[in-house]
Homo-oligomer: A and B are copies of this chain.
Amino acid sequence: MKLQLALDRINLEDAKSIAKEAQAYIDIIEVGTSLIKDYGKKSVNFIKENFKDKVILADIKTCDEGEYEFKAAFEAGADIATVMGNAPLGTIEICYEVSRKYNKDIMIDLMETNEDRIEELKKLDDAIFFIHLPKDNKSGNLIDNFNKKSTVYKGIKRIALGGSVKEEMLGDILTINPEILVIGSAITKSNNIELAARKFKEAL
- Tier of interface size on chain A: 35 or more
Chain B residue at smallest Cβ distance from A89: B137
**Given A134-B91, A137-B89, does the pair A33, B64 have CB atoms closer than 8 Å?**
yes
State A178–B129 Cα separation when bound (angstroms): 38
Contact flags A1-45 to B (C-beta < 8 A → 1, else 0):
000000011000000000000000000000001101111111100
What residues make up the interface of A, taking CB atoms closer than 8 Å to B? Answer: 8-9, 33-34, 36-43, 60-61, 63-69, 72, 84, 86-91, 94, 109, 111-112, 134-137
Beyond A8-B65, A37-B60, A63-B111, 11 additional pairs, beta carbon < 8 A: A9-B68, A33-B69, A34-B68, A34-B69, A36-B37, A38-B72, A63-B109, A64-B136, A87-B136, A88-B134, A89-B137
User: By the criterion CB–CB under 8 Å, are B136 and A65 in contact?
Assistant: yes
Chain B residue at smallest Cβ distance from A44: B37
User: By the criterion CB–CB under 8 Å, are B86 and A137 in contact?
Assistant: no
Q: Which residues of B contact A64 (CB under 8 A)?
A: 33, 61, 111, 134-136
